[in-house]
């Protein structure tokens, strides 16, 4: 029950829900999420910690960067149900498609390249 409530509460925040949808297209590092949400690094770090604690995202560290991706293989059934629910429910939402568009230009790029990329859009 506690695990389920942690999932629901992690999802029930607009910023975190947006991150989950953004991660559907592939992993992002923290600084990319910071740009996406336009929140302070400390706040975003906390959001990602909550998503990780709930089991919704997996993390890896590479050099200076911390990358996040949706939990998938290896995740518990309850976690996978939660991810499927949020993806299915929010797919097509205007706020989400706008995020996907804005984040397009930094997908897969080396973090050192995209610093000026967001300012344009």
Partner DNA sequence: CCTATAATTCGCCAACTATCGAAGTATAGT
Partner DNA sequence: ACTATACTTCGATAGTTGGCGAATTATAGG
Residues contributing to the site for DNA (CB under 7 A):
9, 12-13, 15, 29-31, 34, 39-43, 45-50, 59, 61, 63-67, 111-112, 115
| Stretch binding a second copy (CB under 8 A), from 4-12, 39-47, 60-68, 103-111 | 4-12
Residue 95 makes contact with a second copy by CB under 8 A: yes
Euclidean distance between CA atoms 62 and 64, whole angstroms = 6
Euclidean distance between CA atoms 113 and 111, whole angstroms = 5
Euclidean distance between CA atoms 94 and 113, whole angstroms = 28
Closest approach of DNA to the CB of residue 90, in Å: 16
Of the pair 60, 85, the CB lying nearest a second copy is at 85
90 binds, among a second copy, DNA, none (CB under 5 to 8 A by kind): a second copy
With b for 16 or more beta-carbon neighbours within 10 A and e for fewer, the 88-110 pattern comes to: eebeeeeebeebeeebeebeeee
Q: Looking at 90, 107, 111, 118, which residue binds a second copy (CB under 8 A)?
A: 90
Closest approach of DNA to the CB of residue 41, in Å: 4
Euclidean distance between CA atoms 74 and 96, whole angstroms = 26
């Amino acid at each position: 029950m506690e695990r389920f409530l942690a999932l629901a509460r992690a999802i029930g925040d607009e910023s975190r829900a947006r991150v989950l949808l953004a991660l559907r297209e592939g992993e992002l590092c923290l600084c990319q999420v910071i740009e996406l949400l336009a929140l302070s690094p400390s706040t975003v770090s906390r959001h990602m910690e909550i998503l990780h604690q709930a089991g919704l995202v997996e993390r890896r560290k590479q050099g200076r960067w911390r990358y996040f991706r949706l939990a998938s293989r290896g995740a518990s059934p309850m976690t996978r149900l939660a991810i499927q629910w949020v993806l299915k429910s929010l797919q097509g939402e205007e706020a989400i498609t706008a995020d996907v568009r804005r984040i397009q230009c930094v997908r897969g790029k080396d973090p050192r390249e995209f610093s000026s990329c967001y300012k344009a859009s």
